[in-house]
């Protein structure tokens, strides 16, 4: 019977469905041995579902807080800008967790994986305690420093104090989930975020508006709901880890500080943190340029980018699979399979974002009209969304290759690429198009797409050179690694 027969098609559909079920339920497959497509799906499906829930949570929070008025919205926005440093450091430590844990799992070194995960947890906890103590004590001053007027600082400082004081939940959610994905346990990471986000979606409106037996707490209720929900998610993570039945068991002995290992992990995390900060800070430069064209242009840009990020979150989840696959395959002594995995993930991501970008390009105006009533804002936002959507295919390839470098433990290369693409190119090019060539705000929008095209091109060239395949982790010399399996 030929491959094109109905029976063959049914068997393929059944196999795909079984893979989906296994991905959501959790798997203990050796991702360095099974077919690459199956390995990608087992990692990517739960991660994409996790990011999709994160997208939904963002919408729920925006809707709830926006009903409290401008002061509440400003308090949340300014606090998020303060927390951007926390997110950046947490993402840096998460990159170190994925790189080290996945490498050790690929080497079949369970003890080394547990030690790496344990030390990242210690680092995350120490960082969170420092940020939390200082941030909570000086929340009002931090809001003023971020640009808050006195009325907003007085109104929102309690919200900021709760959010910053509870930032340990952010750190631990990021790093433990990254370690779990590095070990191949993306299903547990998915369940963690679903538990936290679903609980927040219930708690937030109850505590904000005083529904049922809950007191009406306004914007502070949003902070308590978010922090509590994250804490429940962390509790679930800890339960899974200490139970010892998953792919990454962590004993208490792994949480005893090992200074040399922590320093090595920080060397990886520092460049990864700067990756995030460089890209995040570059957006402030664009806002500065856009602000000279009026509030409608800035509002249209803000709304359009929120829509774009909402669509990109699942794609980031798919790209994250490449980091774990690279780390595990390098640890297993299979660099060619690592490269093939990245290329396969890149094809999937580009195809997905091409479809999403096409839809945004066609339906940009009605999409913006659903979020704003100002015709001028809608016009600017639709223009931004169309132009940025054209660049989605570049985003799709670029984010996968960047994650591939991070998964190999080479966080320095993408950091340098980001400096060139976002600071030496994007901001000057945006100013040149907008001001010198008089393109106005559309010049800024074009510069965004051009910058990501440049980032993807340069990252692709470095990826093809293949030096990342020989990347050694700083702590490799301290690890007693068993002989790697054959590369055939």
Model confidence over 144-196: pLDDT tens digits? Answer: 887 778 888 888 899 999 999 999 999 999 999 999 999 999 999 999 999 99
Question: What is the Cα 384 distance to its own chain's centre?
Answer: 23
236 with 279, same domain?
no
User: How many CB atoms lie under 10 A from the CB of residue 15?
Assistant: 11
Average pLDDT over residues 394-408: 94
Average pLDDT over residues 382-410: 94
Does residue 296 sit within a domain?
Answer: yes
215 with 291, same domain?
no
Which positions ≥6 away from 227 have C-beta within 8 Å?
162, 163, 166, 169
- Could you tell me the pLDDT band of residue 486, with boundaries at 50, 70 and 90? very low
Does residue 3 sit within a domain?
Answer: no
For residues 265 and 123, is the Cβ–Cβ distance under 8 A?
Answer: yes
Does residue 21 sit within a domain?
Answer: no
Residue 8 has pLDDT above 70, yes or no: no
For residues 100 and 268, is the Cβ–Cβ distance under 8 A?
Answer: yes
Give dist(CA 217, CA 137) in Å, integer: 21
137 with 114, same domain?
yes
- Could you tell me the pLDDT band of residue 9, with boundaries at 50, 70 and 90? low
Does residue 22 sit within a domain?
Answer: no
User: How many CB atoms lie under 10 A from the CB of residue 151?
Assistant: 11
Does residue 484 sit within a domain?
Answer: no
Does residue 488 sit within a domain?
Answer: no
- Specify the pLDDT at position 347: 94
Sign, CA torsion 116/122/125/127: negative
Give 483's DSSP letter: P
- Please tell me the pTM assigned to this model: 0.87
279 with 203, same domain?
no
Of 177, 160, 164, 6, the residue nearest 78 (C-alpha): 160
Of 478 and 435, the one with more pLDDT: 435
- Could you tell me the pLDDT band of residue 483, with boundaries at 50, 70 and 90? very low
**Could you give the number of structural domains in the chain?**
2
196 with 309, same domain?
no
196 with 321, same domain?
no
Average pLDDT over residues 348-355: 93
Structural domain ending residue among the three candidates 257, 289, 304: 257
Residue 229 has pLDDT above 60, yes or no: yes
332 with 422, same domain?
yes
252 with 272, same domain?
no
55 with 150, same domain?
yes
- What domain range is 243 assigned to? 30-257
235 with 355, same domain?
no
Does residue 480 sit within a domain?
Answer: no
**Of 133-142, 249-258, 349-358, the least confident:** 249-258
308 with 424, same domain?
yes
Average pLDDT over residues 343-369: 93
Structural domain ending residue among the three candidates 257, 275, 290: 257
Token pair for residue 220? 């502070």
């Amino acid at each position: 019977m030929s491959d094109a027969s109905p029976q063959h098609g049914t068997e393929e559909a059944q196999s795909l469905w079984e893979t989906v079920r296994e991905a959501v339920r959790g798997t203990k497959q050796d991702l360095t041995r099974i077919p690459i497509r199956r390995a990608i799906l087992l990692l990517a499906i739960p991660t994409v579902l996790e990011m999709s829930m994160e997208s939904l949570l963002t919408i729920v929070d925006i809707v709830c807080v926006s009903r409290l008025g401008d002061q509440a919205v400003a308090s949340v926005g300014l606090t998020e800008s303060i927390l951007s440093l926390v997110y950046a450091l947490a993402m840096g430590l998460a990159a170190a967790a994925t790189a080290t844990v996945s490498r050790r799992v690929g080497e079949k070194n369970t003890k080394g994986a547990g030690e790496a995960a344990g030390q990242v947890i210690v680092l995350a906890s120490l960082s969170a305690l420092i940020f939390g103590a200082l941030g909570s004590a000086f929340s009002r001053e931090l809001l003023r420093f971020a640009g808050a007027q006195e009325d907003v600082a007085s109104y929102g400082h309690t919200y900021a104090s709760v959010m910053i004081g509870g930032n340990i939940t952010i750190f631990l959610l990021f790093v433990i989930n990254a370690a779990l994905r590095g070990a191949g346990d993306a299903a547990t990471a998915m369940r963690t975020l679903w538990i936290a986000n679903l609980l927040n979606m219930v708690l937030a409106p109850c505590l904000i508006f005083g529904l049922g037996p809950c007191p009406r707490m306004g914007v502070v209720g949003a902070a308590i709901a978010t922090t509590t929900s994250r804490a429940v998610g962390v509790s679930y993570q800890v339960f899974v880890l200490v139970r010892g039945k998953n792919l990454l068991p962590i004993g208490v002995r792994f949480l005893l500080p090992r200074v040399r290992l922590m320093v090595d992990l920080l060397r990886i995390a520092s460049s990864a943190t700067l990756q995030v900060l460089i890209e995040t800070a570059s957006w402030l430069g664009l806002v500065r340029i856009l602000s000279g064209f009026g509030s409608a242009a800035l509002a249209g840009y803000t709304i359009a980018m929120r829509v774009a990020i909402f669509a990109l979150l699942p794609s980031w989840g798919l790209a994250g699979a490449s980091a774990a696959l690279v780390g595990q395959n390098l640890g297993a002594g299979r660099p060619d399979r690592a490269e093939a995995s990245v290329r396969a993930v890149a094809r999937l991501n580009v195809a997905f974002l091409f479809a999403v970008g096409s839809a945004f390009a066609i339906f940009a105006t009605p999409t913006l009209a659903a979020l704003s009533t100002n015709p001028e804002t809608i016009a600017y936002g639709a223009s931004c969304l169309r132009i940025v959507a054209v660049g989605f295919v570049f985003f799709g390839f670029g984010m996968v290759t960047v994650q591939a470098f991070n998964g190999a433990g080479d966080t320095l290369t993408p950091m340098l690429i980001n400096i060139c693409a976002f600071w030496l190119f994007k901001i000057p090019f945006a100013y040149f198009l907008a001001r010198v060539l008089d393109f106005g705000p559309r010049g800024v929008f074009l510069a965004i797409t051009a910058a990501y095209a440049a980032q993807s091109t340069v990252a692709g060239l470095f990826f093809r050179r293949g030096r990342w395949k020989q990347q050694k982790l700083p702590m490799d010399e301290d690890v007693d690694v068993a002989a790697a399996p054959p590369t055939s």
